Amino acid sequence: MDSHRGGWIEIIAGGMFSGKSEELIRRLRRAVIARQRVQVFKPLIDDRFATDEVVSRDERRLKAVSIGTSAELRARVEIGVQVVGIDEIQFFDNGVVDVCMQLADAGIRVIAAGLDQDYMRRPFGPMPALLAVAEEVSKMHAVCVRCRGAAHYSQRVSGGNAQVEVGDTSYEARCRGCYERYTAEAEEDLAVQLTIPQPVS
């Protein structure tokens, strides 16, 4: 809530292409307009766009500090800051949950955006704990590329089996009905080779 005073945690969760960064930037801009002291952070891993900014898909941007760990995030929060924004929070270590709690307990409004599930629909990194401790949770939805329904999943369509595969072209937004389990082709071939019974000579 923009009208809220004092510390609390709000999480903007959802799949890829669901407008999480747009929503984060919208809330942070309102805080800036209300003349609150705002600081924005993002993980170093997210270098899709400019490294010193949070950029949404609709080209909105906000100055951001790129950091590697939750401890570094805690150390970089300046005295007097009222609002802390964090983008792509799923990429941080689990310590980021405690850091968010400490900041909120100290009276800071924490607004964080992140993927709630990975491409296998597994809860992503610190997100489950963040969703539990947050005062407010917004679940964002994208448009399913197959049926145009509300999409909650980031369907991987190319690349390997690593949890993190940065790049929009490797993913599609899909709803529950259109989601398909993805397996990288190279590994699929390998699995087939290993399971083919050898002819007995």
Residues noted as catalytic: 88
Output the smallest distance, CB 199 to Zn ion, in A: 43
178 binds Zn ion, rule: CB under 5 A:
yes
Site string for Zn ion, 121-160 (x = CB under 5 A): -----------------------x-xx-x-----------
Query: 3-class secondary structure for the chain?
Result: CCCCCCCEEEEEEECCCCCHHHHHHHHHHHHHHCCCCEEEEEECCCCCCCCCEEECCCCCEEECEEECCHHHHHHHCCCCCCEEEECCHHHCCCHHHHHHHHHHHCCCEEEEEEECECCCCCECCCHHHHHHHCCEEEEECEECCCCCCEECEEEECCCCCCCCCCCHHHEEEECCCCCCCCCCHHHHHHHHHHHCCCCCC
The stretch near Zn ion (CB under 5 A) out of 5-13, 116-124, 176-184, 191-199 is 176-184
Output the smallest distance, CB 120 to Zn ion, in A: 18
Output the smallest distance, CB 170 to Zn ion, in A: 18
Nearer to Zn ion, 45 or 147 (CB): 147
The stretch near Zn ion (CB under 5 A) out of 107-115, 116-124, 157-165, 177-185 is 177-185
Nearer to Zn ion, 96 or 173 (CB): 173
Output the smallest distance, CB 165 to Zn ion, in A: 21
16 binds Zn ion, rule: CB under 5 A:
no
The pair of structure tokens assigned to 140 is: 């964002």
Using CB under 5 A, list all residues that contact Zn ion.
144, 146-147, 149, 175, 178
